[in-house]
Structure 1
Amino acid sequence: MSRHGSAALKQPALALPPKVSGVPLVGALPGLLKDRFDFLEAARQRHGDIYTLDLGFADAIILSHPRHAQHVLVDQARKYFKGGAIWESMRTFLGNGLPVSEGEFWKRQRRMIQPAFHHQRLVALTEKMLEAIDESLPGWEQAARTGEPFDAAEAFSQMTMNVMVRAMFGSGLEADEAKRVGQSLAYIIDYMMQGMVTKSLPEWLPVPGRARYREAIRYIDEVVLRIIERGRRSAEEDNLLSLLLHAVDAESGEQMTNAQLRDEAVSLFVAGYETTAVGLAWAFHLMTRHPESFQRLRTEVDTVLGQRVPGFAELRQLTYARNVLHESLRLYPPSYWIPRTSSVEDELDGYQIPAGKTVVVFTHLIHHHPAVWEEPRRFDPDRFTPERSEGRHKQAWLPFGAGQRLCIGKEFSLMEGQFILARIAQRYDVSAIPGREAQLHIGTSIRAKNGVWVHVKPRAL
């Protein structure tokens, strides 16, 4: 066949995903900032499950179906890496910790850290976790005595931080220090989104919030490194830090340096604290507005536990508690997007994905996809029963990511959440405050703007 004939048979170039129209210079950014999730859902309805978003300073391909998550995060994960402005912004705080590291270094760190989250290790951490939960209940007790409105979101932040500090470092923080750590972490996590845009600006240019961001990082480092040093001097071995301190890579025989230890400790600390606290806050927002759900939780806890302190063995019986967490994380996934950068040209849904392009597996859109979830905006924990979960795409629910990069602390977080739900349901009646609806705050994660305010009463037994 002639060269001309071969050319005639050549396949036409694939089209790029359709682009969401916008205005000059800033593209779709104004609409996105005004009403982020509704804007993206409307774009999905107009353009389909894959489309290009013009952000003015850059383009991003938005992916909103479980098959996209399967492609980018699992089947073709080698073609996509954690590059681009958002990951560089995150590295200013997380260093080269597990959530942001890549390649052979990531594989080595994962090998060293994975044993800390094996089943038997989680069992060993149960007692520490429950002690930390119970030590965090005085605020609930006071609210129950006084009848004053109570911010469950702030209470869960303090509680999960106490749990993480106890599990990670083996000892707690003073109340004032824990509160400042929580405030610093919240600011850092929110600023990362702004840092994505401003990171390339020169150092001499005053950027709002940058100095506070750096000060917050310095404070977190001071606290974490102090506790690490205390851990080095301690003979205690039943916490995550001691496991990291003594972890040895089986292939190289190496241990972590102080800098690597800091990065991994901070990364685990943030991941374990933020996701669980936010998920629990939204769980109580939802249950107090669906009182029958809270009653079902209490009935399950009464049946399984009575007034006994729960143990690891009872977790598998607290199925409704786990389903409440799953449904809350579906409706309000703290990590609502998973950005990647394509390292080579790829094809997805018949569209071209150019090399070097930012793609975003948009968790929130996947969790609300009407072809995947029946009545996707409705709170329905029973959608996670085995019967109703059968046949659902594996990547339809991914608040902890997917594939090799699945969050290493997923089971730790869910275990912690089940214990917290059980201990509160054993002790308190919790109800909504009429007219005080939690509002979305969308930063680097989804949190409740101005808290989740509830009434707490001692439970009538």
Structure 2
Amino acid sequence: MPDSTMGTPGVGQRLPPRVPGLPLVGNLPRLLAQRFDFLEEARRQAGELFLLDLGLGKAVALCHPRHAQHVLVDRARNYTKGGPMWDSIRSFLGNGLPVSEGEFWKRQRRMIQPAFHHQRLVSLIGEMVEAIDACLEEAWEPAARTGEPFDAAKAFTRVTMNVLVRALFGSGLEPRETEQVAQAFTYVNAYMMKGLVTNSLPPWVPVPGRARYREAIRTIDEIVFQVLARGRRSADTGDSLISLLLHATDEETGKQMTDAQLRDEAVALFVAGYETTAASMAWAFHFLSVQPETAQRLHAEVDAVLGSRKPGFEDLRQLTYTRGVLQEALRMYPPSYWIPRTAEEDDELDGYRIPAGTQMAVLTYVLHHHPEIWESPQRFEPERFTPERSAGRHKHAWIPFGSGQRQCIGKEFSLMEGQLILARVAQRFQASAIAGRMPQVQLGGSLNTRNGVWVRLKQRQARVSVPLD
């Protein structure tokens, strides 16, 4: 049984129960080996809130939506982005919106928010669809013609990269720069988790891949600063996100961002939208390839709403099942599978004492699979997100983009991008899974597939069908 006798007995005096582990390494071996199975077993044995021993550090694991609400909303000011993990992320993101704090964060949020208003997103639709179609014609159509095994996970990284480059930089990137940025971001994302572990080591300690990581950051910085310089020389404001940020002015101070601040925000937007969206698309496509009835309903909806024409912004409101497929993929495998925070002052949660300095971990994956909230949580079921079935569900039972003031600013952009990609792919292709090549979960900067999503593609002609029930 877990040890829950630490501290002075009494409500608000006990520390969270500790999950038994090994000397020196604590729970780390089981966590690495069993991953989410271990966390769900720990929740069943220790309760909704428990202490994990990770060898070099400890963290309080939070498994219920009420905990997410407490840490991310009700007491958000007390739970900040401090500690070694965030320091490692800052080595790349600088002081971008996801990692900045206090008054500086408020100022940046005020300046960036207008870029994600409804009308701004509408203006990006055409560019995004063109970027999607270019990738489908380059890689997907040849695969559908030959019937050769096709790794949809790898293909979706190219699609999301293309969409983000168009949305973020517009025509501000040359083809050579686009490829350089793509390669650099791919490596930085792959290295990120290793960096969390090795960032605190002295600079003279050799770490495999660290030199290449730093070189990738230099490549990204060089290209971003070139784009900014070209943008400042041009009188054309444009609709790209970087153009909007370049000309954004703080309404309270009248100041604009410096190039260093613009660099941090551009990189942060790219990181937030690149690998995370690609991972979600890959998992959604996996389930579509193994659940023909789900794919059939998706095809029926896009045929009824779109036929063979390109989707526009108003179509997204009618593509409700398409959105449900995306939402269910985000529930099953949330890219941000945990949300770390640090307690600045003593607090109390579920009757347990949370001392200042405690590392907290909102376990998004566990919340998304909580059996008291989600019926048959391991089953992929887009219908969960209909208004009827969503009624009464805890607001924090589904938080793939976080919550509260620090909720991802690009949430609606990401959902819009995902709907457009799914709809465009469903209009043109159907997929069947390849036996023996099922994807495995890989823990990295996002919740990726370890060995890809291998399918066989078949071209389909979109057709107007009988209206959906």
TM surpasses 0.5: yes
Aligned to 1:422: 423
Q: CA deviation at 1:236?
A: 4.6
The answer to whether the Cα contact below 8 Å between 2:189 and 2:275 also exists between their aligned partners in 1 is no
Aligned to 1:298: 299
Higher mean C-alpha displacement, 16-25 vs 234-243: 234-243
Cα distance change, pair 352–144 in 1 and its aligned pair in 2 (3 A): same
Following superposition of structure 1 onto structure 2, how do residues 243-322 of structure 1 map, counting pairs within 5 Å? 243-322=244-323
- Give the partner amino acid of 1:103: G
Higher mean C-alpha displacement, 179-188 vs 206-215: 179-188
Aligned to 2:85: 86
**1:405-454 CA deviation, whole Å, 9 max, x = no partner?**
11110001111111111111111122111111011111121101121111
Q: CA deviation at 1:23?
A: 1.1
- Structure 2 residue matching 1:339: 3-state secondary structure: strand
Aligned to 1:4: none
State the distance in 2 between where 1:383 and 1:51 align: 29
Q: Among the aligned pairs, what percent are the same residue?
A: 66
TM-score, normalised via structure 2 length: 0.93
Aligned to 1:433: 434
- Structure 2 residue matching 1:20: 3-state secondary structure: coil
Q: CA deviation at 1:82?
A: 0.2
State the distance in 2 between where 1:33 and 1:116 align: 39
Aligned to 1:212: 212
TM-score, normalised via structure 1 length: 0.95
Cα distance change, pair 12–280 in 1 and its aligned pair in 2 (3 A): closer
State the distance in 2 between where 1:132 and 1:384 align: 28
Higher mean C-alpha displacement, 25-34 vs 187-196: 187-196
Cα distance change, pair 173–279 in 1 and its aligned pair in 2 (3 A): farther
The answer to whether the Cα contact below 8 Å between 2:337 and 2:364 also exists between their aligned partners in 1 is yes
Cα distance change, pair 244–460 in 1 and its aligned pair in 2 (3 A): closer
The answer to whether the Cα contact below 8 Å between 1:86 and 1:193 also exists between their aligned partners in 2 is no
State the distance in 2 between where 1:152 and 1:179 align: 20
State the distance in 1 between where 2:227 and 2:282 align: 28
Following superposition of structure 1 onto structure 2, how do residues 371-386 of structure 1 map, counting pairs within 5 Å? 371-386=372-387
The answer to whether the Cα contact below 8 Å between 1:429 and 1:456 also exists between their aligned partners in 2 is yes
Aligned to 1:388: 389
Q: CA deviation at 1:376?
A: 0.6
Cα distance change, pair 13–338 in 1 and its aligned pair in 2 (3 A): closer
Aligned to 1:5: none
The answer to whether the Cα contact below 8 Å between 2:110 and 2:250 also exists between their aligned partners in 1 is yes
State the distance in 2 between where 1:287 and 1:174 align: 35
Cα distance change, pair 292–178 in 1 and its aligned pair in 2 (3 A): farther
The count of aligned residue pairs is: 452
Higher mean C-alpha displacement, 172-181 vs 363-372: 172-181
Aligned to 2:154: 154
Cα distance change, pair 145–341 in 1 and its aligned pair in 2 (3 A): same
Aligned to 1:240: 241
Q: CA deviation at 1:224?
A: 2.5
Aligned to 1:199: 199
Q: CA deviation at 1:154?
A: 1.3
Aligned to 2:5: none
Aligned to 1:370: 371
Aligned to 1:358: 359
State the distance in 2 between where 1:397 and 1:182 align: 30
Cα distance change, pair 80–169 in 1 and its aligned pair in 2 (3 A): same
- Give the partner amino acid of 2:171: S
State the distance in 2 between where 1:13 and 1:435 align: 51
The answer to whether the Cα contact below 8 Å between 2:172 and 2:227 also exists between their aligned partners in 1 is no
Following superposition of structure 1 onto structure 2, how do residues 58-137 of structure 1 map, counting pairs within 5 Å? 58-137=57-136
**1:50-87 CA deviation, whole Å, 9 max, x = no partner?**
00001111110000110000000001101110001111
Q: CA deviation at 1:233?
A: 3.5
Q: CA deviation at 1:147?
A: 1.3
Structure 1: which 5+ residue stretches go unaligned?
Answer: 1-9
Report the aligned-residue RMSD: 1.7
Structure 2: which 5+ residue stretches go unaligned?
Answer: 1-8, 463-469
State the distance in 2 between where 1:153 and 1:363 align: 22
